[in-house]
Structure 1
Amino acid sequence: MVRIAHIADTHLGFRQYNLDEREHDLYNIIDEIAEKILEERVDIVIHSGDLFDSPRPPAQAYYAFKRFLAKISGRVKFFSVLGDHDTPKRRGMPPQKLFDDEIRVLGLTGGDHQVLRLNGRDVLVAGVSHFSRRYREILVEELKKLDVIAASHQVSVIALHQAVDRFFPFEEVFELRLDDLPRNFKYYAMGHLHARTRASFGKGELAYSGSTEIMRSDEISDWEKHGKGFYVVDLSGDKLDVREVNLEGVRPQLEVRIKYDAFDLELKKLVEFLKTYSGRKSPIAHIIVEGKEVDRQRVQQSLNKALLGKVLYFRSRIIEEPEKEFIELKPGDINISALLKEYLRDEKVAEFGYELFKVLKEGDVEEAKKIADEYFRRMMKIDSEKGVS
């Protein structure tokens, strides 16, 4: 029997809404993951990227991962690829390298692999760390090389942290098309998508295990349907056995819509509902108030008073009725990159704007500052070469 635990997007060091409690939630979750890994008696752990939320995580994030490794030490082999969050933006050492004696980081400079002998069988573990969209052609070539290697192994796994078009419908977001992926692997351990998703592919199955906690409000619906956690994959038989393992320590989050013309009544119902969380982790609430001529100050004051002590944190959003027709956008309705080019009439400036858009929508202000600084330095150099003072 050969069993793997497929984990991704743990984002150690992430502080949702800048809350200490949220940072510590992620450390508690990885402790729970370690316990469940041992319960499941897996042979290999594959982490498919974004182990850390940043290439320079806080000290506590290092300690949390060190504690995780201590728990599984000597019992499980650990492989990882880098994600878009924990890949150094310039030449530098990724945080995982501090644990070189305990884990294997795959694909730092291209396709990488190792063959293990487990329970009398050769197991190919391959991986490529995250490539941005601009280096797609190089990534595809690396995947072709790994595909040739996989063709001679019956039991094979590849770890990738990439957006594939079938699962990321916006043109500006995905880095690979489904047809770009190698076909000879038995299991495709994917990271990047925070929702759990599986599909038959190649000789086996492609799966995004999803994030291990709720990192954004748009993950709430999927968490309610499918939970958060990781996959345990049995590679022993001709047919894969993929099973979800749910984590119990995920802090609950809820999204609530309140009609302004029944605001007091619906807020009272919400307060009653929140009593069901007694004895559990205090939830995070995302509250949308819809209606005409909303008294924003009254709404905020009422929410502050009613929710005090009942939630860890809440965020409110007010939608005036005329706004509603502009809210919903279906995948493919808008091409941000093309829109910027059309509006700015300058391809270079549009590319700069789109790079900023991509990092800012993820809340990465520091990276946005770096991109802006690099862009303006480049512009100053060009001006200087042209003799412009």
Structure 2
Amino acid sequence: MRFAHLADVHLGYRQYGSEERALDFAQAFKKAVEFAEEQNVDFMLIAGDLFHKKSEMDPVTLAQATVVLERTGCQVIAVEGNHDSTYFRERFTWMDYLSSQGLVVNLKPSFAGGEMEVEEWDGRSGAYIDVGDARVYGLKYYGMLTEKILDSYLPHVVGDGFTIFMSHFGVEGYMNIYGCINSERLHVHRERIDYVALGHIHKKYVEDDFIFNPGSLESCDLNEYRFEKGIFLVEYDGELSYRHVSSFYRPRVFRVIELNFEDYSSLRERLLRERGEGKEVVHLRISTDRNIDREKIEGIARETLNPLVLRVEVDYSRGVLQATNLSVSSRKEIERSVISAILKGFGYEDIAEEVLRLKELFVEGRIEAVDDIVTAIISEKVEEAREELKREEREFETAEDGEEEWRWWEAG
């Protein structure tokens, strides 16, 4: 038995507003599926996030998925990731649409009267399917409810023959992102599960030849360009063997260039030395203590590097520290702007004032006050997380079984 395991395709992602980047994601998916077919796999697993947006589907993205899936000669089994479908109230997703067209088997449990039902795939819905000598169980993304859902779902898994459990969540310790659990919750079921197929974290990892995450096919974020990407090819003939493959596709090159600005002439010389093959995604980070012409900087960078995408970040923090001729209020305003810009990149711009105040307290040596602010920030974030969990639990408790989402389909 041989199968391919891929995840986090993110079709339709126009990264940086670039149409060519959207084509990169489509080409990566096409190449991965073609490669798997060439290896004569019996089936393929897509462990979530086939699409980048669960709504606002455009015809081109849907066509990219449809054309590739129509040409596959084996069964494609999938689950929904957080980018495919997040909310319980969504009755019919684009993954359901592909399933209704016979292009994928979209596995997920159903709920009747608040009780979970893990039923066999009947051609339109179900939580598990038998493919040859393997049985594949599937669980969609459930966010903060993942641990609660897992505790209800995994006891339903029957370990007869080669058993695969596929879902979309992360394992703690590999990346600190939302939607991760402790792997021990999976290991306690190892007697009944042979292979855990995951997605969500965009870099490859394997834990104890039991939990597998192939990584994304393309870089969805600047922080990911060094991650190992690809798919798993897995064989089972009484013993499990696997290999991680990325040679079928070359991801778009990301280049990060950091420099201290001296003058425009030396900037040009430095960038000429940094020039790659062109058509790369370039992040240019410049530190300076003076006012510079941003448009001129971008013009020099485009001329010398010929990038597909150019992102320029200017760090004036040195200027903030050295601007002794400015008034105290002016220095604080500049510093506040710099801190806000830095935090915005990580989604924490709403605590810029607190961070600025922390810096002042550290300088003053008032550690007790620092503790008070940190405690307040953490308490606020914990309360936000609790409110989010309560919202998801309310939606989960009111979710009906899967029949409703098919009613319009049958009526048509």
Range into which the TM-score falls when normalised by the shorter chain: 0.7 to 0.9
State the distance in 1 between where 2:230 and 2:175 align.
21
Query: Does the aligned pair in 2 maintain the 1:32–1:249 contact within 8 Å?
Result: no
Structure 1: 5+ residue stretches without partners: 329-335, 356-370, 375-389
- Name the CA distance, whole Å, in 1 between partners of 2:24 and 2:11: 10
**1:194 corresponds to which residue?**
202
Scaled by the length of structure 1, what TM-score is found? Answer: 0.73
Relative to the length of structure 2, the TM-score reads 0.70
Q: Which residue of 2 aligns with 1:242?
A: 243
Pair 1:157 & 2:164 matched: yes
Aligned residues between the structures: 324
Shift of 1:221: 2.0
Task: Specify the alignment match of 2:314 in structure 1.
Answer: 318
Match of 1:288 among 274, 285, 289: 285
Q: Is the 8 A contact 1:340 1:350 kept in 2?
A: no
Report deviation, 1:346: 6.6
In 1, the alpha carbon distance for the partners of 2:181 and 2:52 equals 22
- With over 3 angstroms needed to count, the CA separation of the structure-2 counterparts of 1:32 and 1:340, relative to structure 1, is farther
Conservation of the 8 A alpha-carbon contact between 1:230 and 1:246: no
With 19-28 and 45-54 compared, the bigger mean Cα shift is at: 19-28
One-letter amino acid matched to 1:234? E
Match of 2:92 in 1: 93
Q: Tell me, yes or no, if the aligned pair for 1:127 and 1:159 is still in contact at 8 Å.
A: yes
Please give the residue correspondences for 1:113-128 in structure 2 after superposition, counting only pairs within 5 Å.
Answer: 113-117=128-132, 122-128=133-139
Q: Which runs of 5+ in 2 are unaligned?
A: 111-115, 119-126, 322-334, 344-350, 352-371, 396-412
Matches within 5 A, 1:234-273: 234-261=235-262, 264-265=265-266, 267-273=268-274
Structure-2 residue corresponding to 1:144: 155
**One-letter amino acid of the structure 2 residue matched with residue 77 of structure 1:** Q
> What's the CA shift for 1:47?
0.2
Q: Secondary structure at the match of 2:71?
A: helix
Matches within 5 A, 1:1-389: 2-56=1-55, 57-72=57-72, 75-89=73-87, 90-100=89-99, 101-109=102-110, 111=118, 112-117=127-132, 122-134=133-145, 136-146=147-157, 149-150=158-159, 152-153=160-161, 155-169=162-176, 173-181=178-186, 182-184=189-191, 185-200=193-208, 204-222=209-227, 226=228, 228-261=229-262, 264-265=265-266, 267-274=268-275, 276-277=276-277, 282-291=279-288, 293-295=289-291, 297-308=292-303, 310-319=306-315, 320-321=317-318, 342-343=376-377, 350-351=384-385
- In 2, Cα distance between equivalents of 1:84 and 1:102: 20
| Distance (whole Å) between structure 1 residues aligned to residue 220 and residue 105 of structure 2 | 26
Does the aligned pair in 1 maintain the 2:268–2:300 contact within 8 Å? no
Mapped contact 2:201–2:213 kept (Cα < 8 A): yes
Distance 1:221 1:88, change over 3 A: closer
Provide the C-alpha distance between the structure 1 equivalents of 2:58 and 2:234, rounded to a whole number of angstroms.
32
Output the CA distance in 1 between the equivalents of 2:374 and 2:25: 36
Asked if structure 1 preserves the Cα contact closer than 8 Å seen for 2:230 and 2:244, the reply is no
| 1:192 Cα deviation after fit | 0.2
Contact in 2 for aligned 1:48/1:161 (Cα 8 Å): yes
Paired with 1:339 and 1:55, the residues of 2 have a C-alpha distance of 38
1:58-79 superposed Cα distances (whole Å, 9 cap, x missing partner): 211110111111221xx21110
Per-residue CA distance 1:20-66 (angstroms, 9 max, x = gap): 22112212222212221222211110000000112222211110111
The whole-number CA distance in structure 2 between the counterparts of 1:8 and 1:214 is 13
Does the 8 A contact of 2:135 with 2:164 survive in 1? yes
Corresponding letter in the other structure for 1:16:
Q
Greater Rg over alpha carbons, structure = 2
Per-residue deviation at 1:18? 1.6
Tell me the amino acid that sits aligned with residue 3 of structure 1: R
Q: Deviations over 1:185-225 (max 9, x none)?
A: 2221110001111221xxx4212111111110000122xxx
